[in-house]
Structure 1
Amino acid sequence: MKERESVNEYFARTLTIANKMRIHREKMGDAVVIEKILRSMTAKYDYVVCSIEESNDLDILSIDELQSSLLVHEQRMGRHTVDEQALKVIHEMYQGGRGGRNNFRGRG
């Protein structure tokens, strides 16, 4: 998986490759594809991958279930980043950041 690649983009690319391999008679079950996907996720998904491996039987987990789970985590990470940026802006405003003006302290 590439650093800035979304879960949906990565799955589309990976499943295209897996399907081409199957067309050429490569014996590759869903469990093998799932293991390869989990192994190749970027570092920011490490805790999610561990959680999925610990809480699921990878032999019966479907590719769709895996994708759904990773999408939920991707959305949560995106929301967390937005919240952090909003808090940073608010903090800078209270500290008089961005030009040294303090818009929130008493006016005298």
Structure 2
Amino acid sequence: MADDKMKLPNFDGHWDHWSEVMENFFRAKGLWSIIENGYEEPPATTILTAEQRNQLDDAKTNDHKVKHYLYQSIDRITFEQILDRRSSKVIWESMKRKFDGSDRVKKSLLQKLRRDFEILEMKKSESIEEYFTRALAITNQMRSN
């Protein structure tokens, strides 16, 4: 399938943009409901019908798919900040709490961007246009915050 090769956006601290793109991706794949609603594991003593067992197995599989996509789009540092990773719904909600509109997060991101701008150097193999594009990308990110 061609859309399976689609490059997922890397989470860069901009929750609004990243979450919108990821939500659209999950909706297109028919997986958004697993983030929105999650799934419940019945108590171990519950006896399930074959149909209920299949539904639960499908929900678990879909949850693993969503977690796989989420893990592909976040870096190790962000991953380690998510303490509870038992389900994709919990991961999504944890990231939303941590990164959605938080002034502290925006201030931290601005400090990182300022540092990136301060140490910005033209690489030997880089054209002036490429260097200028990198510099503009950083300043545009700073402006958007």
Tell whether the structures are fold-level matches, with TM greater than 0.5. no
So what's the TM-score if we normalise by structure 1? Answer: 0.43
Q: If you compute each CA radius of gyration, which structure gives the higher value, 1 or 2?
A: 1
So what's the TM-score if we normalise by structure 2? Answer: 0.35
